[in-house]
Structure 1
Amino acid sequence: MFDSILVPTDGSPGSERAFEAAATLARTHDTTVHVLSVVDEHGPTDDWDYDGDSPAAAFIESQANHVDTEDLSVTAAVREGVVHDAVLDYADETDINLIVMGTHGRTGVRRFLLGSVTEKVVRLADVPVLSVKADAEPGTVSFDDILLPTDGSSGAEAAIEPAGALASVTDATVHLVSVVDTRSLGVDVGSSVIVDELESVATDAVENTSDRLSEMGVETVETAIAHGVPYRAILDAIEEADADLVIIGTHGRTGIDRYLLGSVAEKLVRTSPVPVMTVRASDAGEEQ
């Protein structure tokens, strides 16, 4: 599924962790990795410290010290402009299937550009975006346990195909979780009935998703129903499953609250201790 992977780089540790993750996926899918450096027309450039033909080419060379690049097909590119626009334009021009970016989990860091930029790309990209924390442990990345949250919406369904495609190739275990959001419910009898209905919806969501994954060749699927604040419950599920990766669907371009996994996905990008792949539903752009 991931025939062409893009790693935008600003030379930060987040970019290095993103490249490591991209290299793992590239070997799994026999994929070309594009490394893109963008000269930000609105930001400082003094922190760039590269020798060689281009910042991207120098970055690739520097990664060869701890990432085996000999068996990888890697392409270097440089663009100038507004960073997130340049990333999205390059992805469109070169038929990228996956964007892998580093993130600091916060905004306002001027020296490293890929904090807030990552969140903009997550909202706007037409292809999946894998966000990797800058403070992740350096070295080889593995995706043996994948957490796949679902609420049964079209946004959640968008994440099934990439999760299944990756898990079927790597023999990963997929951990399905659906969260019953009980924040606005009281403790009266009526609330109990509503909780039962929400649990029924959640159960249907994980069962239907499990069936879809099995049809895609995923051999090991585990399911769970959780209660509470969705993104916090998902964070707990990451720890319980010892997950290496979260794949979550989103209508993140619009940020409409009725799509549960829109705002939840963005919170996970900022707070998850493991990489998060966001997958935008194809119809998200139609919502206003």
Structure 2
Amino acid sequence: MYDHILFPTDGSQGASVVFDHVLDVAANHGATVHVLNVADPGQVFQPQRDVIDALKQEGEEFVRDAADRARQRGVETVTEVQKGEPYSAIVDYATSRDIDLVAMPTHGRQGLERFLLGSTTERVLRRSDVPVLTVRPDDGTLTYPYQTVLVPTDGSTCAREAVETAADVTTANGATLHLLTVVDIASLGIDVRSDIQIAQLEETADAILEEAAAVAETAGAEPATETVEYGPSIHEAILSYIQDHDIDLIVVGTHGRTGFDRYVLGSVTEYLVRTSPIPVLAVREPSPEA
């Protein structure tokens, strides 16, 4: 399923922890890991040539250490150090080198930071046409191969892409596939309590699951469960399902956005990336050109 995996690293402890998981994935698939460090002159006030050279030298050490660890696991690597805006360099590298998966660490944040995009991981997630696997460095319960895979679906195009990707992951790992759709009652108003509206919601939710199951089966994976949940919060319902069913990986669709939406978090996918206790594999909706 994966031949080339891109792992951008800044040499931090968090990146080191996530790299262990990346090596598990790569070893299982016989994939080559591309280890990339991007020296960002923008982090230095009035950067001079000697400062930039020092950043690149530090980056060389980061990728060399990662390659040594990969070699001990029998995983082939390609290493590179670039200079520039990290998120842009990562997205361009993934596109130009036919990367199958980008794997990056993410951090849970509190307060205002939960709503403002700023990290390299989030920017890559917004722009990458390649699936992005995000892993929290503080997650001590990482499991691989994945045994249980969850796809929350709303019937959208990007959700369909997520189902197809999850079916591939499920088959490759010998895992069980869970399909979930959540009806956000709070956003529908007080009239949703009527029997007629409840029946309509159930019918719509069942149709979404039926279509998702058909997509999964066509891709070679028969869902183990198809569940409809009702609640005041979609992402909270998903997180609850993860805990109740011991899910190892969640696969979700995401939209690339521009303008103000690039800076204000609001989607379920972005919230899950910030808060999920397990790895999140985000699959972007295909561009019109594709």
TM class by smaller structure: 0.7 to 0.9
Compared CA separation, residues 194 and 69, structure 1 to 2 (3 A): farther
Compared CA separation, residues 143 and 249, structure 1 to 2 (3 A): same
Structure 2 distance, partners of 1:159, 1:43, is 35
Structure 2 distance, partners of 1:191, 1:254, is 38
CA contact (8 A) 2:213 2:223 kept: no
- 1:222-261 CA-to-partner distances (Å, cap 9, x unmatched) read 111111211111111111121111100111435999xxxx
CA RMSD of aligned residues (A): 3.1
- Once the two structures are TM-superposed, the CA of residue 190 in structure 1 deviates from its matched residue by 7.2
Report which stretch shifted further, 75-84 or 23-32: 23-32
Structure 2 residue identity aligned to 1:7: F
CA contact (8 A) 2:56 2:82 kept: no
- 1:1-60 CA-to-partner distances (Å, cap 9, x unmatched) read 322110100112331233223222223322111111111121158997987954211233
Compared CA separation, residues 36 and 52, structure 1 to 2 (3 A): closer
Structure 2 distance, partners of 1:117, 1:263, is 18
The within-5 A match list for 1:64-75 is 69-75=72-78
- DSSP 3-state at the match of 1:35: strand
The within-5 A match list for 1:1-288 is 1-43=1-43, 54-61=61-68, 63=69, 69-106=72-109, 116-137=119-140, 141-188=144-191, 191-219=194-222, 221-228=224-231, 229-254=233-258, 263-283=267-287
Structure 1 distance, partners of 2:96, 2:109, is 29
CA contact (8 A) 1:28 1:169 kept: no
- DSSP 3-state at the match of 1:161: helix
Report which stretch shifted further, 140-149 or 117-126: 140-149
- DSSP 3-state at the match of 1:158: helix
Structure 2 residue identity aligned to 1:251: H
**Counterpart in 2 of 1:111?**
none
Report which stretch shifted further, 192-201 or 9-18: 192-201
- DSSP 3-state at the match of 2:144: coil
- Once the two structures are TM-superposed, the CA of residue 166 in structure 1 deviates from its matched residue by 1.1
Q: How many pairs does the alignment contain?
A: 273
Structure 1 residue identity aligned to 2:274: R
Structure 2 distance, partners of 1:82, 1:157, is 32
Compared CA separation, residues 16 and 193, structure 1 to 2 (3 A): farther
Structure 1 distance, partners of 2:99, 2:15, is 18
Structure 1 residue identity aligned to 2:280: V
- Once the two structures are TM-superposed, the CA of residue 198 in structure 1 deviates from its matched residue by 2.4
CA contact (8 A) 1:84 1:117 kept: yes
Identity of paired residues, percent? 41
CA contact (8 A) 1:250 1:281 kept: yes
- DSSP 3-state at the match of 1:11: coil
Compared CA separation, residues 250 and 189, structure 1 to 2 (3 A): closer
TM-score for both structures, normalised by structure 1: 0.83
TM-score for both structures, normalised by structure 2: 0.83
- Once the two structures are TM-superposed, the CA of residue 107 in structure 1 deviates from its matched residue by 8.6
